Amino acid sequence: MSDTGGAALVPASGAPAEAPATAPAGAVVDRGGCRAGGRAGAAAFVCYLAVALWLSAHDLVFPDAMSRVANGYYVLFSRDPHLAAIGFVWNPLPSLAAIPLLLATPLWPALASRALAGCLVSALCGACSVALMHRLLGRLGAGPAMRLVLTAVFALHPLVLLGSAAGASEPMLLVLCLYVAVHLVDWLTGADPWQLVHVGVGAGVAYLVRYEALAAGLAVGVLVLVVSWRRSRGGKGAPAMALVDTVLAAGPVVAAFGLWALASEAVVGSWLATFAPQYGNSAQVGAGRGTIDVVSGAGSFAHLRYMAEQLVNTAPLAVPLALVGLVVALRRGERALLSPVCVLGSVLAFQNLVFSCGMSFGWLRFQIAAVPLGVAAAGYLAGVLTGGARPGRARRAGAAALTLAMVASLPLAWRAERNPRLAREESRAVDVAAAGQYPMERRVAADIAAMGLGRGAVITDVAYSFPVVLSAEDPRVYVITVDGDFDALLADPLLNGVSYALLASPDTAPADAVAERYPGMWEDGAGRAEMVRQWSDGRGLTWRLYRFTG
């Protein structure tokens, strides 16, 4: 690890600077460890890809993952292809990353129709996070055997494995958080400002993945400010040095936040489209609030209790080990563990806070940051126990017991995935697959294609009909909400060559733009259309195709 000493650590007053905190005992930066981490990541990629193909073959797809693939798909293949079609409710990087793969959709339609493009991206991100987890454990002082076992615990945890295989956005956030954590450790133990460049860039890119990265960026900025100030011992140059270090670490995430908000305002007229009244995350959570409260209970206290129950059942050792690790690290004068606690702990705290405030669905996957947090803390504590020239038998046994406790927690996490109360999203995915929803929606696309309709013949709100459009033989048949002329065509469909409207039942599509423009269309055509086709799955989810008559 780099230890720059020198002028960078001497304040302008001439007072001696505080030396960087020492690295944990046994901390390593070695080529052999990098190769082992690379092999672990490669093995994880093969595993995640195999699971992804199995899930896809059984139609076990998260709507969130498919919708992000759809946002990238519209950029390339919609009737009005343009970059802004990617949307502004969700951060853009997961959809942007899928676009190169989606170029091959004409050769392999499942990349879009079954969201495999997103699965490939998340599998790669999950594999890279495994390699980075192995590297982080080395930085924290875990021995080779412990690194291998704990990396396997991380890789095989259901939140990591299923998220990486199912196309979720969390693995992309996770790999960037671990990238930030590794380089922040190197700065905390070596004071090399170049490491802060890596930290800042990683945090800035992470914000383009998920909003939680804003909490991580803020926490990292505060940590860097405090540590940089203490290193300079309050000399005349301390404010300037601390400010420069903080800007390096937190500036990119602030810039990413500002630029994304500016782009959203310029294109859709909203600084934060996630709070938009029709399609924003807040509106979606509001529409589902009754269902959420039935499971979790109503009110902030009930929500926090529900999230705590999720956490205890998925990563029971994460918070206790992190707290114990912090106490041990502070007593030993080691700062390395501050990095994963700061980065991952802030993401975890953010998710629990927004759910307690009624601004999140509270899915089980939102606890994913607890998994690497617990693994990192266990690795640090195990390294402390076995560090030194000749660790005693009791200390080696303690490290082994700690590692085995992490292994033993895996079955509990997998059991939580089968609990429909805790794993509501996963349970719903199983119900959707059993009811044949996605095959039914692919049949909708095939039946409309068989009608031989021309470009722009069917108008639909892709906030809900994205599975149909992704399965379409020719997506240009559909006028969709991200098209620049959607509102104009919806105002007078027949005059603009739009012959049909595709709608889902109101309980499934509460804010459908077509139904809102023509109230009562779902029930009887609203005097403007007549129903020509209807499709339903085993749960009763229904699509109707209406032909405009006037």
Q: What pLDDT digit, counting tens, does each position of 255-279 carry? A: 999 999 999 999 988 888 887 756 7
Question: Which 3 state secondary structure label does DSSP give 272?
Answer: coil
Tell me the domain boundaries of the chain.
31-428, 436-548
Residue 532 CB neighbours (<10 A)? 11
How high does pLDDT run on average in the chain? 91
pLDDT at residue 233 is higher than 80? no
Nearest to 201 by CA among 188, 182, 226: 182
Kindly give, in sequence order, each residue whose CB lies less than 8 Å from that of residue 496, ignoring residues fewer than 6 positions away: 456, 485, 488, 489
Nearest to 482 by CA among 510, 455, 462, 457: 462
pLDDT at residue 29 is higher than 70? no
Higher pLDDT, 286 or 226: 226
pLDDT at residue 32 is higher than 60? no
| Percent of residues, the chain, with pLDDT higher than 90 | 79
Name the packing angle between helices 144-156 and 31-57 (round to 10°): 20
Backbone angles phi, psi at 315, to 5 degrees: -145, 70
Banded pLDDT at 411 (limits 50, 70, 90): very high
pLDDT at residue 371 is higher than 60? yes
Banded pLDDT at 31 (limits 50, 70, 90): low
What does the pLDDT read at residue 159? 98
* First CA to last CA distance, the chain: 73
Q: How far is CA 91 from the centre of its chain?
A: 10
Would you say 82 and 484 are in contact if contact means Cβ atoms under 8 Å apart?
Answer: yes
Question: Which 3 state secondary structure label does DSSP give 107?
Answer: coil
Determine the average pLDDT of the residues in 455-474.
97
User: Over the Cα atoms of the chain, what is R_g?
Assistant: 26
Geometric angle at alpha carbon 247, from 91 and 216, rounded to 5°: 45
pLDDT at residue 350 is higher than 90? yes
pLDDT at residue 9 is higher than 50? no
Would you say 459 and 490 are in contact if contact means Cβ atoms under 8 Å apart?
Answer: yes
Give the dihedral sign, CA 410/415/416/418. Answer: positive
What does the pLDDT read at residue 360? 87
Banded pLDDT at 25 (limits 50, 70, 90): low
Would you say 228 and 17 are in contact if contact means Cβ atoms under 8 Å apart?
Answer: no
pLDDT at residue 59 is higher than 70? yes
Banded pLDDT at 122 (limits 50, 70, 90): very high
What does the pLDDT read at residue 14? 41
Would you say 114 and 55 are in contact if contact means Cβ atoms under 8 Å apart?
Answer: no
What does the pLDDT read at residue 27? 62
Would you say 361 and 64 are in contact if contact means Cβ atoms under 8 Å apart?
Answer: no
Q: How far apart are CA 300 and CA 358, in angstroms?
A: 7
What does the pLDDT read at residue 55? 97
Determine the average pLDDT of the residues in 57-80.
95
| Percent of residues, the chain, with pLDDT higher than 70 | 92
Residue 169 CB neighbours (<10 A)? 25
What does the pLDDT read at residue 18? 54
Lookup: tokens for 55: 């899930």
Banded pLDDT at 351 (limits 50, 70, 90): very high
Residue 17 CB neighbours (<10 A)? 21
